[in-house]
Amino acid sequence: MKVLMLYDYPPSPGGLATQGDLLYKGLLELGVDAHAAHFESAQEKEWYYRWFKPDLAVGVGYWGHTPQLIFHPQSHGVLPVPWLVADGYIANYHKVLNELPLILVTSNWVKEMYVRDGIKPDNIEVLPVGCNTDTFIPFKKNDPKILAVREALGVSSDQIMILTVGGDAASKGAREVMEALAIINDEFSNWKYVCKVWPQPRTKAQNLLDLELAKKLGIEDKIFYATNTISRNFIPYLIGACDIYAAPSRLEGFGMPQVEAGACEKPVIGINAMGMLDTLVHKETALLAGVGQKIIAKEVILGKESGFEKNHKIVFNEPRTVDYRADVRDIATHLLSLMRNKTLRERLGKKGRERVVENFDYRIVAKKFLKIVQDKLGMD
């Protein structure tokens, strides 16, 4: 079997790029004849179609990338196999998606969203995102690299460091975490909350709103926003420096950082919904907050990025849940339990790594991919 991987290649530090690159790496290690190209590079993709003649073009993205991941390979006689995430509502390209023999999605919740929005379930298979368990490993607290991270972030050796990583922090539940921290601050005050976000205009605006909330809550001196550009090489050490990884995300089709935190033996606080139902086990590998609120939409406005004209309005027959908010009181309870109980932190962390190694190591994911392709498409 010859596979052409289509994603943000060479990989940026973002989630979709990492998702594609780890599958590519796993396939190569298993001896599969595979190459990678940027999903938007028509010229490079066509070059591979002509000389490599792939059996499959496996594209990483969401339904809005259908032109790049599906239409383009099809126009050159190559079978596309999209590996998709969800963004709350699948608004377009239903016909072409329903005609594909195989669609991969990152979790059972993502599959539910596609089926809810009109994609037939028969051709959808769940393939989780891989994790490099050789680089995301437990680190000793006195490791010089870990000490250097904490020092750079202004975290003292005796402080509990809570970490959230995302394109922005709010979408990963950071505002709910801040509200929870404000609730328990009088009971346990020796903590620091670090949010690692990516430098971009949208994030900058959200950061200011988040820091305004921290000031309103009276905890701004304990909140640190790290906005530098970093490589994937640094992230294991950043996660390794924390004591608790908190990301009760508002919208999460898988939860790669939560899985990576588990691989580093860090206890995770998540939300009892969406993709985290596949990756985290409440009270065994993580503590999951209940859903405090569902954000309901009656209509959406879409544009060219989704295959419509500008300002295209879609009115739902029935209102749709497009976002979640974790229960702040649950988050507060979980944070206080973990802050006070080192043994609990260690127990959840060890179980978390065991689960990641057994289920989400990138080599295991590559093997799952090959089995799905063999079973659904009859390709070896």
Q: What is the CATH number of the domain that holds 9?
A: 3.40.50.2000
List Cα–Cα distances, 120 to 89, 109, 145, 229, 378, in angstroms: 15, 14, 48, 40, 20
**For residues 342 and 243, is the Cβ–Cβ distance under 8 A?**
no
Q: In terms of domains, do 35 and 92 share one?
A: yes
Range of the domain at 108: 2-130+361-377
Structural domain includes residue 246: yes
Q: In terms of domains, do 123 and 150 share one?
A: no
Q: In terms of domains, do 201 and 211 share one?
A: yes
Residue 320 backbone phi and psi in degrees, to 5: -115, 145
pLDDT of the residue at 365: 98
Q: In terms of domains, do 112 and 151 share one?
A: no
| Conformation bin of residue 295: beta by default, left when phi > 0, alpha when psi is -120 to 50 | beta
pLDDT in tens, 135-148: 999 999 999 999 99
Give the integer Cα–Cα distance in Å for 261 and 267: 7
Q: How many domains does the chain have?
A: 2
CA-wise closest residue to 180 among 245, 114, 246: 246
pLDDT of the residue at 29: 98
CA angle 137, 155, 232 (to 5 degrees): 40
Is the CA virtual torsion 59, 64, 68, 70 positive or negative?
A: positive
Structural domain includes residue 150: yes
Q: In terms of domains, do 9 and 67 share one?
A: yes
pLDDT of the residue at 322: 84
Q: pTM surpassing 0.75?
A: yes
Q: In terms of domains, do 184 and 323 share one?
A: yes
pLDDT of the residue at 252: 94
| Average confidence (pLDDT) over 343-355 | 98
pLDDT of the residue at 72: 98
Q: Is the per-residue pLDDT at 203 higher than 90? A: no
Residues in the chain: 380
Q: In terms of domains, do 182 and 61 share one?
A: no
Q: In terms of domains, do 204 and 346 share one?
A: yes
